[in-house]
Amino acid sequence: MEYMTLFIGAVVVNNFVLTKFLGLCIFFGVSKNLSASAGMGMAVTAVMTLSSMLAWLVYNFVLIPNGLEFMKTAVFVLLIASFVQLLEMIIKKQAPALYNMWGIYLLLIATNCIVLAVPLEMAEGGLSFLMTVVYAIGSGLGFALAIILMASCREKLRLADVPKSLEGLGIAFILAGMLALAFLGFSGMI
């Protein structure tokens, strides 16, 4: 039950994009078409899960025993950046098809706040390893949900008669605001 709450909480109630407003750069940048945003959602989920697991290990076995919890931000940044690099190399070699699909997004993710936020929250909440994994997958899916919703709306908007002054990003911001309002309805669910 605890895991379920954590998972649902990460996906909808505390959705990283629409409730906590993290990762907005890729949220606006890659939500122009559905297939790209689905790829981005998957890439973020995968990177977030793997890097959170790694971060949990480093945090619990290196930082805490040495009393260096305050260094977690710097260490996690280093960790995520190198991990994404490593992942990119591995994917490029082992699965070129996957690389063609994800490759361009991976580097965008490397310095993204949403990927850093999950390990930081994990450290603050003192989650166990399994809970961290569940939380990371939930957050990733939450991001994927938000960006796919956004992309489908923006694809529809392409055919709509948007006032000239609001074309492009203007209408996208309004749309994101409305989506965030809708997600506000989930607050208080848990």
Q: In angstroms, give the least distance from the CB of 123 to other proteins.
A: 15
**Is 26 within 8 Å of 108 (Cβ atoms)?**
yes
Nearest-approach distance from CB 58 to other proteins, in angstroms: 7
Q: Does 90 bind other proteins (CB under 8 A)?
A: yes
Could you tell me the end-to-end alpha-carbon distance of the chain, in angstroms, rounded to an integer? 12
* Segment (H or E) for 113: helix 113-125
Site pattern 4..43 for other proteins (x: CB under 8 A): ----------------------------------------
> Does residue 67 interact with other proteins by CB under 8 A?
yes
The helix or strand, by DSSP H or E, that contains position 87, with its residue range, turns out to be: helix 72-94
Tokens of 45: 């989920």
Q: Whole-angstrom Cα distance, residue 27 to residue 40?
A: 9
Please give the Cα distance from 78 to 125 (Å, whole number): 21
Query: What is the distance, to the nearest Å, from the Cα of residue 177 to the centroid of all Cα atoms in its chain?
Result: 18
Q: Which of 38, 53, 71, 108 binds other proteins (CB under 8 A)?
A: 71
Tell me: does residue 166 bind other proteins (CB under 8 A): no
Q: 20 vs 92, which CB is nearer to other proteins?
A: 92
Q: Interface residues with other proteins (CB under 8 A)?
A: 58, 62-63, 66-68, 71, 74-75, 78-79, 82, 85-86, 89-90, 92-94
